[in-house]
């Protein structure tokens, strides 16, 4: 018997439900308008960011050569950590190889047996997996519901507790009620962990994130995680918190201790992107303006972030609409179950600060045609 025969059955089931996924290698140069990537500030090809990556490779080579605790920490890693912490108003920073490993590292190192982890129902998959690996008791709170978090924390028997949330949720682009969540966490002696992956560079003064915007930066009982692969046009992740949290992660976060350090090119690119954002703080406002324009074109409510969801409901209809947009020269994201809940399949449009008025005109024509047909199909 073939021990992997069940893979074919699963593939057939997914195909019938319109949930099969595929990899589509893209060309270096394409005429398509990009509304699918997370390059929110449009810095992936910025000459200063390219130069930062190239200079780092020339100085350090192509790889970090080892884990951060052995040979994988360069002077540029340390500089990036300091610069990121200063930018968001945190005491200290620690860079990981990805935003995913940053979330895994901070949750598993701060939770463990004898702790409670309360996570928002809409938390990113990396936080979901962190919960599973934490060995703590996990409770899921209703989406954006501080009262539910309060009840779960108040009823706990564990001494330690973490509350997990995105600042900007990746599928809907909505904002977490961070002030209320922090108040509830503090009242119950818990630590609030906020993933700013989609907030940093987009929300707050000069793109400093939603935590900074709401006056919570530097709180000793709040830990921020972030990615360098979105607004900072590179790759990698970071934890931005107090010095004692940083020290504990260096000692205890397995995804930091046992992983090779972030490649020098990514460090150099992220530092250069941060420098551009510092010099051009208006980029954060510009990406939100472009997102509002996309929302008007798509006929949906004004967004709070760079993410503009266009919910169609039916997975096959969303997939076909995304394919139709691509055929007409506009790349859009397509989110289907299990990434989103059943009946909420959608196109996910992501704004970029460098979208031009001419591109918006083309987008309006394409989305007008495709969405009319998709909505008629779903309605019938």
Question: Containing H/E element for 363?
Answer: helix 357-379
Residue 19: what pLDDT?
82
Tokens describing residue 357: 């008025």
DSSP helix/strand/coil, 281: coil
Secondary structure class of 273 (helix, strand, coil)? helix
Domain segments of the chain as ranges: 47-279, 281-379
Question: What is the Cα–Cα distance from 273 to 232, expressed in whole angstroms?
Answer: 5
CA distances from 291 to 111, 281, 303, 308 (A): 37, 17, 7, 7
Cis peptide before 338 (omega within 30 of 0): yes
Confidence of residue 44 (pLDDT cuts 50, 70, 90): very high
**Fold type of domain 281-379:** 3.90.1150
Structure tokens at 12: 């057939």
Structure tokens, 249: 């992660």
Asked whether residue 26 carries a pLDDT value surpassing 90, the answer given is: no
Q: How far is CA 72 from CA 233, 293, 295, in A?
A: 21, 43, 43
Q: How far is CA 50 from the centre of its chain?
A: 22
How far are the Cα atoms of 135, 141, 162 from residue 156, in angstroms, in the given order?
16, 14, 12
pLDDT of residue 30: 86
CA distances from 65 to 9, 23, 101 (A): 42, 29, 18
Tokens 């009319």 belong to 372
pTM of the model: 0.95
Q: In this model, does residue 380 exceed pLDDT 90?
A: no
For residue 154, count CB atoms less than 10 angstroms from its CB and return exposed for 0-12, middle for 13-18, buried for 19 or more. Answer: exposed
Q: What is the mean pLDDT of residues 14-20?
A: 85
Taking phi over 0 as left and psi of -120 to 50 as alpha, with beta for the rest, 122 belongs to alpha
| Secondary structure letter of residue 260 according to DSSP | B
In this predicted model, what pLDDT tens digit does every residue of 339-352 receive, in sequence order?
A: 899 999 999 999 99
Chain-centre distance of CA 76, in angstroms? 23
The CATH architecture that domain 47-279 belongs to is 3-Layer(aba) Sandwich (3.40)
Distance CA 285, CA 304 (A): 11
255-312 pLDDT, tens digit each = 999 999 999 999 999 999 999 999 999 999 999 999 999 999 999 999 999 999 999 9
Query: 3-state DSSP helix/strand/coil percent for the chain, to nearest 5?
Result: 45, 15, 40
Q: Which are the contacts of 165, defined by CB distance < 8 A and separation ≥ 6?
A: 119, 120, 123, 176, 178, 181, 192, 193, 194, 195
Enumerate the β-bridge partners of residue 193: 164, 223
8 A C-beta contact, residue 306 and residue 351: yes
**61 has pLDDT over 90:** yes
């Amino acid at each position: 018997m073939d021990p992997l025969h069940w893979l074919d059955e699963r593939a057939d089931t997914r195909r019938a439900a319109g949930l099969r996924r595929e990899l589509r290698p893209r060309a270096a140069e394409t005429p398509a308008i990009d509304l699918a990537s997370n390059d929110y500030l449009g810095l992936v090809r910025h000459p200063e960011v390219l130069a930062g990556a190239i200079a780092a490779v020339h100085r350090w080579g192509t790889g970090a050569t080892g884990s951060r605790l052995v040979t994988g920490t360069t002077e540029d890693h340390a500089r990036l950590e300091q610069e990121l912490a200063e930018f968001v108003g945190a005491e200290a920073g620690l860079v990981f190889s990805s935003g995913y490993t940053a979330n895994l590292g901070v949750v598993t190192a701060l939770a463990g047996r004898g702790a409670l982890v309360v996570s928002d129902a809409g938390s990113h998959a990396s936080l979901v997996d962190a919960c599973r690996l934490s060995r703590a008791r996990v409770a899921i709170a209703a989406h954006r519901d501080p009262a539910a978090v309060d009840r779960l924390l108040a009823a706990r028997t564990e001494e330690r507790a973490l509350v997990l949330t995105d600042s900007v949720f990746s599928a809907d682009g909505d904002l977490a009620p961070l002030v209320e969540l922090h108040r509830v966490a503090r009242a119950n002696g818990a630590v609030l962990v906020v993933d700013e992956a989609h907030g940093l560079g987009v929300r707050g003064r000069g793109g400093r994130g939603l935590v900074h915007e709401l006056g919570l930066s530097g709180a000793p009982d709040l830990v921020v995680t972030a990615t360098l692969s979105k607004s900072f046009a590179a790759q990698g992740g970071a934890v931005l918190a107090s010095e004692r949290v940083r020290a504990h992660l260096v000692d205890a976060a397995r995804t930091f201790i046992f992983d090779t350090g972030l490649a020098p090119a990514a460090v150099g690119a992220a530092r250069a992107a941060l420098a551009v954002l510092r010099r051009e703080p208006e980029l954060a406002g510009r990406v939100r303006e472009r997102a509002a324009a996309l929302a008007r074109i798509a006929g949906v409510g004004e967004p709070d972030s760079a993410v503009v969801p266009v919910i169609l409901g039916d997975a096959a209809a969303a997939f076909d609409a995304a394919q139709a947009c691509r055929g007409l020269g506009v790349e859009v994201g397509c989110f289907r179950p299990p990434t989103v809940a059943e009946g909420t399949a959608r196109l996910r449009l992501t704004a970029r600060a460098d979208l031009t008025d001419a591109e918006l005109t083309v987008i309006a024509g394409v989305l007008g045609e495709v969405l009319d047909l998709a909505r008629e199909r779903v309605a019938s």
